[in-house]
Amino acid sequence: MSKTRVLISDPMSSQAVDVFEKRGIDVVQTGKMTEEELLDMIPSFHGLAIRSSTNVTEKVLHAATQLKVVGRAGIGVDNISVSACTAKGVVVMNTPMGNAITTAEHTLAMIFSLARHIPQANQTTHAGAWAKSKYMGVELTGKILGIIGSGNIGSIVAQKAIGFGLKVQAYDPYLTEERANVLGIKKVELEELLITSDVISLHVPKTVETENIINASAINKMKKGAMLINCARGGLVDERALHVALTSGHLRGAALDVYLEEPAKKNSLFGLENVICTPHLGASTTEAQEKVAVQIAEQISDYLLDGSIKNGLNAPNLSAEEVRQLRPYFQLANYLGLFAGQLSHTAIQGITVTFSGDAAKLNVEPLTTQVVQSVLAPHFNDINVVNARKVAFDRGIHVTEAKEDLEDVYHNRVTISIMAGDKTRSVCGTLIQNRPRLIEIKGIKLESEFGEHMLYITNQDEPGVIGAIGRFAADKNINIANMHLGRRESRGDAISLLEIDAPVRSIDLDGLRGIKSISDVQYLNFNSLIL
């Protein structure tokens, strides 16, 4: 088995290399690379650790034939095509808390610098001008700080600003009243924040909803003499509208660490006396860079070595302990999903997964995702546990997850119900000594292990059927390793489940279907699709 390999393609603390090496992972650090250089190197690597310089595009992912995970040492993933990673089954991670304190501190430094004209006063003083009267500042104590986005960084800014005597209010669609009370801030709508805040600071990612959230209309609602801070992402502020507001005197000033185009060598805001500009320094402290480097190295290592996921952006988080607990259930979910998927020959409208007993006490979201992937695997190429939910959503397949109490001989059960056309087919399994067992099909009870090659036969419960199957199998040199039987009632619907040694030819399947009282025969292959 080849050694696990990780490529670090951006400048990063050497501590990241130390983490990988201590975990037994082969690591190569190159520093900044051209796209051509990356395309040439990436095929042999399982993990990719980056900062802001490397662009993980569809082209790069196409070349990355062994890639399993991309880790961003930092928060922003603008340089990663997350959708393309999802489609290919590549997990994307970041380190949202690694530079939160550093970025929050930079934000506060920008607020104080703007309020007291510190950069401008410093420059003129160095030049020999004693311009004391020119740089009259404003006191921040008692002023209202409006925070747009109260996540990790926004919350830290709020708490520290309160310590400096500012009154803090926040707009965030996901902020609850309870959380606002804990932080000691006021929850408001965006319009109220714009109208009433003396200082406005942005702490949201750039999305379709947040792009140009501070536009001309928003700026016109802001207080005359208000100050604007953006240490989050370029593109949140309409820079042309901001230029108008700053030159007209509507806004007192702005402090920017991020810009629509970076590196920002030219910008209409550069040179304005009431603007403070820094070159995306929010996360640029020694402590933060070491912290995010170590964190992303640990996260990538954990995923590659034991399957645990932390700070995943396109996959559910899983601790190492959860991976250990879920491992046999993953196998059960995989088998059941493949079984149900191979029996489905019409368009699937819905998948319901019900967890009972001990199984219901687990983190079942990853198990449901595994079921969806396995159900759809016989029908779609390139489906994986990362993109399975999206594939289902895009095709209008409704996925439902449920839990229920269990009063049964089995301590745990996983039941899959497939809705296709006007029919619903269910299959149920359990773990016995951590081994997956099939225990019910379409309400008919039977108990069977899973084999690589199986025959699923539906028939009427009548004398001579089993003997006819055995004789036909012997005539066609089909070796039956195990046979498991179940029936709904005497002389009623019945199921025969056969484990066989090798695949069965279509002509032989047709022959079995010709046996009296047999209604259908299907060959099930678990060999190439098994976990």
Q: What positions carry a catalytic annotation?
A: 233, 262, 280
Kindly give the interhelix angle for 286-306 and 100-116, rounded to the nearest 10 degrees.
Answer: 160
Residue given tokens 């006063």 in the structure block:
121
Q: How far apart are CA 375 and CA 378, in angstroms?
A: 7
Beta strand pairing status for 186-187 and 167-171? parallel
Buried b (16+ CB within 10 A) or exposed e, 369-400: bbbbbbbbbbeeeebbbbbbbebbeeeebebe
Between the CA atoms of 443, 445, 495 and 524, what dihedral angle is there, to the nearest 10 degrees?
90
Q: How far apart are CA 372 and CA 62, in angstroms?
A: 24
Kindly state the tokens that stand for 60: 């790069």
488 bridge partner residues: none
Any idea how long the chain is?
531
Q: How far apart are CA 426 and CA 343, in angstroms?
A: 10
**What spatial distance separates the first Cα and last Cα of the chain, rounded to whole Å?**
17
DSSP string, 238-251: -HHHHHHHHHHTSE
Kindly state the tokens that stand for 433: 């000594």
* Alpha-helix runs per DSSP H in 281-426: 286-306, 320-342, 365-376, 388-394
413 bridge partner residues: 356
Residue 294 CB contacts under 8 Å (≥ 6 apart), including other chains? 13, 15, 16, 19
SS (H, E, C) 318-332: ECHHHHHHHHHHHHH
Q: How far apart are CA 461 and CA 490, in angstroms?
A: 6
* Alpha-helix runs per DSSP H in 90-237: 100-116, 118-126, 152-163, 177-183, 190-196, 216-221
Would you call 270 helix, strand, or coil by DSSP? coil
| DSSP code at position 60 | H
Kindly state the tokens that stand for 108: 């506060």
Q: How far apart are CA 30 and CA 44, in angstroms?
A: 14
Residue 183 CB contacts under 8 Å (≥ 6 apart), including other chains? 150, 155, 158, 159, 168, 170
Buried b (16+ CB within 10 A) or exposed e, 312-341: bbbbeebeeebbeebeebbbbbbbbbbbbb
